Amino acid sequence: MSNSYLSTSLHKTASGLNQEAEDQFELELCWCIQQLQTGLTDMKLQDRQIYNLTKSLNVLKSNNASLIKKRQVMRNTFGDYRSNMEKDEKKYGKTSSVVKFITCDTKQLGKKSSFLRKAHFLTNTTNKNEKSQNDDKLPIIKSIKTKNTYNEPFKFNFS
List, in sequence order, every residue forming a beta bridge with 12; answer none if it has no partner. Answer: 18
Domain ranges of the chain: 3-104
| Distance, CA of 143 to CA of 74 (rounded, Å) | 56
3-state secondary structure 105-154: CHHHHHHHCCCCCCCCCCCCCCCHHHHHHHHHHHHHHHHHHCCCCCCCCC
The DSSP secondary structure of 40-63, one letter per residue, reads: HHHS---HHHHHHHHHHHHHHH-S
Q: Specify the pLDDT at position 69.
A: 93
Q: Specify the pLDDT at position 7.
A: 45
State the amino acid at position 53 in one-letter form.
Answer: L
Q: Specify the pLDDT at position 72.
A: 92
81: phi then psi, degrees, rounded to nearest 5: -70, -25
> What is the residue-level pLDDT of the chain in tens, covering all 159 positions?
444 444 444 566 666 778 888 888 888 899 899 889 988 888 888 889 889 999 999 999 988 999 899 999 999 988 888 888 888 888 877 555 666 667 766 666 656 666 666 665 555 555 555 555 555 555 555 544 555 556 777 777 786
Q: What is the pTM of this model?
A: 0.50
